[in-house]
Amino acid sequence: MAKNKTDKSKSVSSAKRTRRRRNIHSTYERLTPKQKLTLYLNDALAIENAAVQRLQSRIKQTKIENAKQRLQLHLQETREQQNRLKHLISDFPEV
């Protein structure tokens, strides 16, 4: 009986996830192209923000100087990408 209860709770949480995905999808479909682009740019910026944090952590942990220099170069490029995204988002017309 415990197994059925576990299976049932898994299917309930799965059903909730499915409903949530449908709600997000239907909300996304109602957005204008400008709103969709703004969301996309914000998602891309969030990814770059996370990458900066990871790279900073890796640089601190890295003992091999050549690898550390490569990571610092990558961090610099990631920050440049962050700045480009920030400018795109701020220059984008209000929706």
Give the dihedral of Cα atoms 42, 48, 51, 53; nearest 10 deg.
Answer: -80
45 and 71 belong to one structural domain? yes
Cα three-residue angle 47-87-31, rounded to 5 degrees: 70
User: pLDDT tens digits for 64-85?
Assistant: 999 999 999 999 999 999 999 9
Do residues 3 and 23 both lie within one domain?
A: yes
- Domain membership of residue 93 as a residue range: 33-95
Q: Of residues 81 and 19, which shows the higher confidence score?
A: 81
For the stretch 22-76, pLDDT in tens is 666 667 778 888 888 889 999 999 999 999 999 999 999 999 999 999 999 999 9
Q: In terms of domains, do 42 and 68 share one?
A: yes
Verify that 20 and 59 share a domain, yes or no. no
CA distance linking residue 74 with residue 8, whole number of Å: 47
Residues 64 and 95 placed together within one structural domain of the fold: yes
Count of structural domains, the chain: 2
Is residue 25 domain-shared with residue 40, that is, in the same domain? no
Residue 44 shares a structural domain with residue 84 = yes
